[in-house]
Amino acid sequence: MSSPRYVVGIDLGTTNCALASLDLATETARVEVDDIAQLVNVGELAARPLLPSFLYLPDDKDFPPGSTRLPWNTDDSAVIGELARRRGAERPGRLVASAKSWLCHSGVDRTAPILPWGSSEDGLRVSPLDASARYLEHMARAWEQQHSGERLCDQDVLVTVPASFDEAARELTLRATAQAGMPSVRLLEEPQAAFYAWLDLAGERWRDRVKVGDLVLVCDVGGGTTDFSLIAVTESEAALALARVAVGDHILLGGDNMDLALARLVQQRLEQAGHKVDAMQLQALWLQCGAAKERLFEEPSLDRQPVTLLGRGSRLVGGTIKGEVLREDLNRVIVEGFFPRVPADAEPARQRRVGLQELGLPYAADPAITRHLARFLMRQASDAPGLDAIRRGHGGLAAPTHVLFNGGVMKAPALRDRVLETLNDWLAAQGCPAIAGDGVLDAPDLDRAVARGAAFYGRARRRNGIRIRGGSPRTYYIGIESAMPAVPGLDAPMKALCVVPFGMEEGTEATIPGREFGLVVGEPAEFRFLSSTVRKHDAVGTLIEDWGDDLLEQEPLEVMLEGQGTAVDQVVPVRLEAKVTEVGTLELWCVSRDGCQRWKLELNIRERDR
């Protein structure tokens, strides 16, 4: 590959995608956010700052023939972006939404055509993987239209993923980029990307804002997901260095939930007043409540914001219903409902286990983002190896000194204040100094900071600029059954062998010492695979037995030994090797004793038995 002209950051979001690029040919070039061409109406192409992550699968009843073609594509089997979102509200059975949340949902086969989920319409279906690939492909073509003569696959492309994405979801994201014609991209965690956007903005002055021992909480609340990370300021060769020391679990909770909660409230009120609100009007109400929420948050002097549902027939004036969102609603539903001022030891409510649960996205059972944050900060009990201890209160709370907000929701000053107040309550209770006003690191353009930051990071990587040390975001284990007599009805107790330690750096390898496995040639072998975001001290080869709920089971790993000159059925002793790739994924290999034969373990991302 010839050396790329641009670095391009792609934010492949749950509800919106964004694109930013940086021209490498100019030394002093700044990150440019690229607007994305998309169908905004039937027959109308326009560039918009964000590409809504919606895929609509039309049939011949939807649009006049030829009216949804794109300049780069004669295939009109799917519509992506604003028109998809709008038309999908009218015909939800053909709309694919939140593909990214499905991509990290291990309860379903993410490579099978299962979306639109639960649709009763027959017709085309796509897999979460395909949908993601289509968004990427769309962005690639749109970008190429703006940068004539360049192909996106020839650039240095960074795709961002939530820090909480597990290995399977990262792997699937990479597969989606390959399917979109970009076989060599790198992954970057979104909270880190947001931090890079701040670094880009602050320039060299960033060194004046933080000092060694500081701890930055990145609080990223987007449309569909909430993602936390901790970044520690350390010292390396007498200069400030940065290390990502903790990532949170995946929480399906975001701005869309908030807007819907408001819409439900307004709907209830309208229905009490004798109006009827149908499903399609609820959709309109949802959008309007989102806009009303933003307006009220922006303008603290307003005490109410009207929402109107125009009559659906041509009787416009006669059929119009008026509702309103009051500031009090905002305080009660959004601020107190999603950001309650809870103590630091508050635990989020657990998922209810109902006997028969409709299989769908595993939305967070507790809407309180502050409770999820408390749990995240309380669970960082062990420090990452190779680093100074992170700051901690006397009750064990990881104690940030700075906060960096990201995501559309965090644009609201009232919500930022609430998060800060709550954090300061916790810090005070734990004997730590409060985060002052200058402890809030301001990233610009919260909707697109991630794409910007990714492009900035791409250049920093190429030019040995400042980088956040990250490495593996989790500790990974392989399940080993104990050699104990089997008991009917009980699984043999399992031990977990650490194969990848937390923070294992990109581009490094490790051999798992002291253990050999016998694999049968010609037969598939399966390994149980587990991960932890909180156990950070386990070194490669550590065997653990009792882990409470620190470990999470992942998709199993599979390997099939093809006999190369070896008889089928023969048992081959192998050892395990782990590698964290430059791209940002991990690989596990079985290696024969003589080291001559290697087989890669593959994640089985097909449906898992529940």
Residues within the interface to other proteins (CB under 8 A): 41-45, 64-67, 280, 306, 308, 310-312, 314-318, 320, 322
Catalogue the E-assigned strands of 63-131. 79-80, 95-96
Q: For the CB of residue 320, give the shortest distance to other proteins in the complex, in Å.
A: 4
CA dihedral 371, 377, 378, 384 (to 10 degrees): 150
Given the complex with other proteins, which of 211 and 315 has the nearer CB atom?
Answer: 315
Q: For the CB of residue 78, give the shortest distance to other proteins in the complex, in Å.
A: 20
Q: For the CB of residue 287, give the shortest distance to other proteins in the complex, in Å.
A: 12
Burial class from Cβ neighbours inside 10 Å (0-12, 13-18, 19+) for residue 535 reads buried
Given the complex with other proteins, which of 160 and 267 has the nearer CB atom?
Answer: 267
CA 126/CA 329 separation, integer angstroms:
39
Given the complex with other proteins, which of 268 and 308 has the nearer CB atom?
Answer: 308
Q: For the CB of residue 94, give the shortest distance to other proteins in the complex, in Å.
A: 12
**Helix intervals (H) in 60-166:** 82-90, 99-103, 128-146
Strand order in the sheet with 239-247: 440-441, 402-406, 215-221, 226-236, 239-247, 468-469
Q: For the CB of residue 108, give the shortest distance to other proteins in the complex, in Å.
A: 28
Could you tell me if 225 and 252 are in contact, meaning their C-beta atoms sit under 8 angstroms apart? yes
Given the complex with other proteins, which of 41 and 357 has the nearer CB atom?
Answer: 41
Q: For the CB of residue 71, give the shortest distance to other proteins in the complex, in Å.
A: 11
Q: For the CB of residue 33, give the shortest distance to other proteins in the complex, in Å.
A: 20
Q: For the CB of residue 312, give the shortest distance to other proteins in the complex, in Å.
A: 8
As a three-state string, the secondary structure of 369-433 is: HHHHHHHHHHCCCCCCCCCCCCCECCCCCECCCEEEEECHHHHCHHHHHHHHHHHHHHHHHCCCC
Catalogue the E-assigned strands of 255-338. 304-309, 321-326
Q: How many CB atoms lie within 10 A of CB 143?
A: 22
Structure tokens at 181: 């014609």
**CA distance between the termini of the chain:** 44
CA 443/CA 450 separation, integer angstroms:
10
Q: For the CB of residue 491, give the shortest distance to other proteins in the complex, in Å.
A: 48
Given the complex with other proteins, which of 246 and 325 has the nearer CB atom?
Answer: 325
Given the complex with other proteins, which of 65 and 437 has the nearer CB atom?
Answer: 65
Q: For the CB of residue 90, give the shortest distance to other proteins in the complex, in Å.
A: 9
Q: For the CB of residue 600, give the shortest distance to other proteins in the complex, in Å.
A: 50
Q: Residue 321's beta-bridge partner residues? A: 309
Given the complex with other proteins, which of 67 and 592 has the nearer CB atom?
Answer: 67
Given the complex with other proteins, which of 83 and 169 has the nearer CB atom?
Answer: 83
- Any residues with CB less than 8 A from the CB of 477 and at least 6 apart, and which? 496, 497, 498, 499, 529, 530, 531, 532, 538, 544, 551
Q: For the CB of residue 138, give the shortest distance to other proteins in the complex, in Å.
A: 19
* Ordered DSSP codes for 129-148: HHHHHHHHHHHHHHHHHHST
- Any residues with CB less than 8 A from the CB of 488 and at least 6 apart, and which? none
Given the complex with other proteins, which of 322 and 593 has the nearer CB atom?
Answer: 322
Given the complex with other proteins, which of 59 and 509 has the nearer CB atom?
Answer: 59
| Residue at token pair 């999820």 | 372
Expressed in percent and rounded to 5, the helix, strand and coil fractions of the chain are 30, 25, 45
Given the complex with other proteins, which of 67 and 179 has the nearer CB atom?
Answer: 67
Angle, alpha carbons 478-483-486 (nearest 5°): 110
Could you tell me if 98 and 15 are in contact, meaning their C-beta atoms sit under 8 angstroms apart? yes
Given the complex with other proteins, which of 312 and 332 has the nearer CB atom?
Answer: 312
- Any residues with CB less than 8 A from the CB of 444 and at least 6 apart, and which? 197, 201, 452
DSSP 331: I
